Chain A
Amino acid sequence: MKFGIVTFPGSNCDYDTYHAVVDTLGEEAVMLWHKDHDLQGSDVVVLPGGFSYGDYLRPGAIARFSPIMQEVVQHAERGGPVIGICNGFQIACEAGLLPGALLRNASLKFVCAPIHLRVESNDSLFTSRYERGQSIVLPIAHGDGRYSADDDTLDRLEGEGQVVFRFAPSTLEAQEAYNPNGSMRDIAGIVNGAGNVLGMMPHPERAVDALLGSADGLPLFESILQRVAA
């Protein structure tokens, strides 16, 4: 399976994603320059993390108009899988691939830390290799991750099972603060209505090797392999 990884000016997780796909997953990956108009036959497109265009205006606001985004949107409209991670999630929201927006963290601080997530649905293209309700640990590194949308949109996301990852305590009994950015309804990751576009603030591509702290991101990539190859 071929993963296309888009490099925008200011992307900085593109090669982490390449490492996860090629070295850990053992699949093919191609780097796509944002000015290109060709996905080079990619089966899955990844919009990686970083600070595209220096986060000028709003994170993702300018990157969404990069030439390659036309092809990414068409790929998504055809049902092709798209993953937006961190800045990629912001770009996907700005591009209208996902509802809502990511605002400045409620703390006004950039937060860089491993955090606990609950897998809310294993019914998606991206999460079938997890258990529903499973607690996982992934790193986050963002200053603008506070997911926001109007109540109708939030109700619909929850009602349709589109909230796939939520910030959650490490255990049911734990009393610690667990939402690192103040996102509405503790949302950390969502899919679109058709289920082929995932946006998430945490970084699964930085958690594919237990030696580096966590391998909890690996099942996400394996889920895609399983479902798209099938």
Chain B
Amino acid sequence: MSRFRVAVQVVPRRGLLDPQGKAVADALHTLGFGGVVAVHVGRHLMLDLDAADEETARRQTREMCERLLANPVTEDYEIAEVTPS
């Protein structure tokens, strides 16, 4: 059993109205960052997870995302990083 630190990103599905992202983009434009084309605001989750190996950690995290951490109707998730900790 090893301990892993897993980073997961959950973002609103592209194409769905993301009023929060749009509000942030508008604010950035106001600050003069005219090059900002789009912003999507999501969640970043950090898990400390005990698992037999990295593959198991990834598989368990995927299952967590599908069952709880992300809403399959409206959100996409990405396991950004799995590192031994």
Contacts and interface: CB of A to CB of B under 8 A. Distances in A.
A65 interface: yes
Interface string A82-113: 00000000000110000111011111100000
A49 to B, nearest CB: 20
Contact of B71 (A58, A146, A182): A58
B74 A108 contact: no
A103 B19 CA distance: 10
A104 B68 contact: no
B74 A103 contact: yes
A103 B73 CA distance: 11
Q: Interface range on chain B: under 10, 10 to 19, 20 to 34, or 35 or more? A: 10 to 19
Contact of B19 (A57, A58, A94, A104): A104
Contact of A65 (B19, B68, B69, B71): B68
B8 to A, nearest CB: 12
B68 A106 contact: no
Contacts of A57: 43, 68-69
Contacts of A150: 73
Interface string B58-80: 00000000001101011000000
Given A57-B69, A58-B71, A61-B68, A148 B20 contact: no
A148 to B, nearest CB: 6
Given A57-B68, A65-B68, A148 B19 contact: no
B19 A101 contact: no
Nearest to B41: A104
Contact of A61 (B12, B16, B23, B71): B71
B17 interface: yes
Contacts of A62: 68
Interface string B3-18: 0000000001000110
Interface of A: 57-58, 61-62, 65, 93-94, 99-101, 103-108, 146, 148-150, 182
5 contacts: A57-B69, A65-B68, A104-B19, A105-B19, A148-B17
Interface of B: 12, 16-17, 19-20, 23, 43, 68-69, 71, 73-74
Given A99-B73, A101-B71, A150-B73, 7 more contacts: A57-B43, A57-B68, A58-B71, A61-B68, A103-B16, A107-B19, A182-B19
